Amino acid sequence: MRFSNIFICIFICIFGFEAQAAKRVTEIERLTREINRNPGNMEMRCALIKTQLANGDTVAADQALTYALKMEEAPCLCMHKARIAITKRDVYGAARYGAKAIKAGLEFEQDSTIYYIDSLSTGAVSMYVQQMVSAEKQNAALWISLAKLAIYRADTIAALTYYENAYHQGDSTAQKAIQNLRAYQTVSDADSVIARIPFTYQDEKIEVKGKINGLAIRITIDTVATESTISRVETRFMLKNDYFSEEDIRNNTAVVIKSLELGNEVQLTEILLNNRDSQQNPVILCLRDLERLGRIRINKQKRVIEIAH
């Protein structure tokens, strides 16, 4: 009796699975007919691709995506392309299409997969969006998107910077977000500040005096960067003059710095700097690494970086 019940359960599961698969095939046929009647209907194309993916037909979905994206980079199309890239373990490909989806107007509240992709690619979605911002500095929507990604990473300072840029570009909705973030600003007036690092502020760049493994150097603090970097020219100079050794270089793409001093006040150790061929600034330090020192506030009026435990 028990074996017959098990058999019935297995039969029901198989039958149910086949029924669902058959239903999806019917839906694919219906959507295909609709698209043939109205080729420009991106909503139908997105629905078709979603059904194909649910049916396990990644090849057909990818082909349909390639064709549809030539007509329009709709947010849903870009996100489906990003998901396919993830299945191929191409996290940077997924990040690129995630960034394209954001530029096309992706609503984060409707598709939170973008946060997963940004986390999976170690902030690459943010990096690609920043490249778009560099080309379109007047695009307030991109600044808002960067702010949302920063909030997800719990990077309050970067989020505040992004929202302020969006506000200056004319997006009044960013003002409330700025007020809320300032209420949780990393360093408050009541905090005990342990260090104040003076900086110069020119061409929207924050620069401080510092040392890397004992070499005096000017360090740029980039409030929108997702990683700390060093110019390839500086890397060659430091290697040639024994400020670090070949053992400190990682895969010829990055170098581990044992000591990075800022303004004779504080010191960071074991900092990974990624090599950049076209970078003109010797060293760029991102906020994520700077925050290793403690809670910080960039006081532009006094031109000091304040650090508290």
Q: Which segments of the chain have a pLDDT < 70?
A: 1-25, 35, 137, 182-191, 203-204, 224, 226, 309
Residue-wise pLDDT for 106-164, tens only, equals: 988 778 889 999 988 888 998 899 888 877 767 889 999 999 998 887 777 778 778 88
In this structure, whether the domain defined by 193-308 belongs to CATH 2.40.70.10 is answered with yes
- The residue with tokens 């990075």 is 260
- Give the position of tokens 């993830």: 86
Whether domain 10-183 has CATH 3.40.30 = no
- Note whether 103 and 96 are within 8 A (CB): no
| 8 Å CB contact between 104 and 75 | yes
pLDDT of 17-35, one tens digit each?
444 544 555 777 777 777 6
Q: Where are the domains of the chain?
A: 10-183, 193-308
Residues 6+ positions from 89 with CB-CB distance below 8 Å: none
The SS3 call for residue 1 is coil
At 290, list the tokens.
């700077």
- pLDDT, position 29: 75
